[in-house]
Structure 1
Amino acid sequence: MKLENPKFTAPADADDRKAITPVICYPPETLVQPDLSGLRQLRQSAAKTAEVTAGARDAACIDVPAGAFVRVVSVDGPQVGDLNMWNRHDLTERFYSGKTRALHGTHLSTGDRMWSSFPNMRPMATIVGDTLDWYGFDDFGGSVHDVIGTRCDPYTGRLLSGDDYHHCCHSNLTRALANHCDLPLHEAEMLVHDVLNVFMCTGFTRDTGQYFMKASPVRPGDYLEFYAEIDLIVGLSACPGGDCSSEHSSDTAACYPLLIEVFDPGQEARAAHVQPARSAYDRTHGTG
């Protein structure tokens, strides 16, 4: 929080210091760009092969083979979802929201990629369709599909309210992964990670820099669609905050299910897909 009355006097050149032009920390120009036109053409031949529903205030997981498409769909009403991704063959390789944010920005849309955790550091999925791309950034600085929030969880809820709430996104994803992979609950919890907040409208307040949420613009039929770069488990929680216009980590908001659909372009097309290589860094960390 910014202090309204700072204790220290600004230096004489304060305005000049504030006027310095910012530098992008991780310029993305050298990243390999996805072939979106080729992926759109491939998508036309894909047929729906699987689906699962994340019930209101609950979560679900689904397997998605490399070279297939997965779509998150709003069905009955305005609802945001917290999304996790894991390598189906190695659950320790999972979505890295912080590095994805550093490479692509605070909010994701078509053409952006979802990067995996160290030491792999490779694209797990590429966003190929976003029916909310019209929203852009509003006058408050808000936009949709953020990688700045963590996920609502029972630990923060306990800290702030003193109560235990078991249907926040962290707990929902924990149960869903445990059931999907037949894992003990405590093992699954350690694999749940920071999320892509699908359909959620968020930003930072301009005066205090606080993370805010507002009513999502999502409508039934809206979707966010990905191309699976590697074999994935996709987990999605239908947030107890509903459209996140008021609060989460409670049963107050109206909530709706979210649908996950898998579209497969066929075994031949999937076999032709080249999975991204893991990071080539030698992992000596200066000791070699």
Structure 2
Amino acid sequence: MKVAVGKLAQRNAGWDERQTLKVLREQSPHAAGYRHICHLLDDFVVDGPHGSHTCLVTEAMGATAFDLFRCVSSALPLFLVKRISKHILLALQYMHECDIVHTDLKGDNISMNGAPPPIYPQSTKLQENELLDATFKLSDMGSANKMSIRFAPLIQPEDLRSPEVILGAEWDTKADIWNFGCLMYEFLRGTSLFNPYARIKESRLNRYQNHLAQMVGLLGDFPSNLLDRAKDAQDYFDEKGQLVHGAGQYKITLEDLLSGTSSKLEDVLLTADFLSQTLTIDPEKRWSASRLLQHPWLKGVV
């Protein structure tokens, strides 16, 4: 059960999450992604000495993906990342069809249904068959935005933040896809894809300049159509679309980064291709959840 503080209820923020959960519960129960959403079971309001508190009762869930990540203290196995990817893409497909953007994809917002949570400091070791049988669900809609009312000017965990959000351009459901790609890379490699604070003193870049320089070094130049509609683009790029600060400081490919895994070369190349479709700088060319579900990297994953 989630209990909102009184101030949230007064500002109707708690009710926004309730309405989001109600839309997801009621709009299309037969959709493929419906079972991969942690759904609202009940809601009510409790009056207390500090105001009214919105209470949201959702399905009880087990361990989160972040719990699993902490258990192994390293990268998750490829079969597990593929299963998480398939289930979360189904959840995003459904959310986006409902015109809702999650905006806050991270490991502790992905929960397992069918396994107990690990108990710290001792780790619970889950067997491979348990992981193959588990259903992963997307939870915590407290930061979700309806496409018709995108009230949040800044969204997403900082190191998972999409380029359009950093530059102050209008964002949509494709922001979730970028966030998803960064997170799946983190699960695969056991480390963040982008780190806005890495080498920040020696590079003399601020965290935004550093983050954008890392993106350019990995994925190439920013397209002019994105820079033209981004209100903060002039703070980071010149009139030719080149970085003002940090150009050339980073240069690597996804294949290079993924080659450090124990996967076979063909798996590395296919994984890199899958992730590259989620990490396309231009959100208009970034693949949707529906299209990603058809990628050969997910062939045979249930």
TM-score interval w.r.t. the shorter chain? under 0.3
Give the alignment's TM-score, normalised by structure 1. 0.23
Which structure has more RCO (C-alpha within 8 Å, separation ≥ 6)? Answer: 1
Give the alignment's TM-score, normalised by structure 2. 0.22
Higher strand share: 1
Higher helix share: 2
